[in-house]
Structure 1
């Protein structure tokens, strides 16, 4: 796939994007570069560090930098979500630093990180879309509304950014999670999800 540098994209690692992404951005009227994406994300998240009014026990924050605390939190939380190895500091730097990603963390009353998720915003020819991935709440903190608080904040950010839809997937055996998504207004789509291992 041919890669192009977008005008005004600067010299960052994310300044080169596939031609298809540039065309999608043009159709959406969006500038796909680091500075523009970060400015847009900043405008939508001025209140993100505030406590969620519906759950004062959970304070939802946008992760802007990677430190030992975050690395340790993902080392503890990620195995509760996936059998893949947890991301190390370098991987988290790439995740947090990517202009399409918003990494949300949840803190409890003791200021411990007890949950996390990644919201991805990406422009397509059909409009700006959002995808929620890697939602995890510590087993010891479940049942306290922390997953709901993370999802509500992600939906708020996506809506303020102008996304048309928010999508996610959830295994059928995750009954509590599926009930949560239904309560939050998500509708189950009549579609197939395919994956190709590379």
Structure 2
């Protein structure tokens, strides 16, 4: 039995310029996230694009519709460069869109000199957990806590 996930015919690319189309699509995708709080504006997307530590990647299907997104944050610490992969959302699960986004995010992380990458997947996102496991992500040995600011 094969454990490979099906690959979607998607094109993954980094967003380099904000647009109404991208902001609207990200807003629709963000509604799938547990911590969704607002629809991003074009200015919000441009702020992400302009931040040298943050990379926004999207997946488009054959019809050029945006069907997935992921944010890659690269940051430097005294112990090395780290990558944080978050705000992963796909329009249709089980089609390899998340995997294609994650593969590109890991390429960006390696290119940026990251020693490791953390992928944020909520326990309720069973498809995301399966994909992460198949790609080699394991449980983190650190106990992460979050505070709302």
Question: Structure 1 length as normaliser, TM-score?
Answer: 0.68
Query: Which residue of the partner structure matches residue 153 of structure 1?
Result: 104
Greater fraction helix: 1
Contact kept, 8 Å, 2:7 with 2:97, in 1: the verdict is yes
- Mapped partners of 2:109, 2:14: distance in 1: 13
Runs of 5+ consecutive residues of structure 1 not aligned to the other structure = 1-53
| Larger Rg belongs to | 1
- 167, 179, 188: which one aligns with 2:139: 188
Give CA deviations for 1:121-157 in whole Å, capped at 9, x if unaligned: 111100111110100001xx22110000000111111
- Mapped partners of 1:83, 1:68: distance in 2: 19
How many positions carry a matched residue from both structures? 143
Query: Which residue of the partner structure matches residue 3 of structure 2?
Result: none
Q: Secondary structure at the match of 2:49?
A: helix
1:1-198 aligned within 5 A: 55=7, 57-81=9-33, 82-138=35-91, 141-198=92-149
Runs of 5+ consecutive residues of structure 2 not aligned to the other structure = 1-5
Q: Secondary structure at the match of 1:80?
A: coil
> How well do the aligned residues superpose, as a CA RMSD in angstroms?
1.4
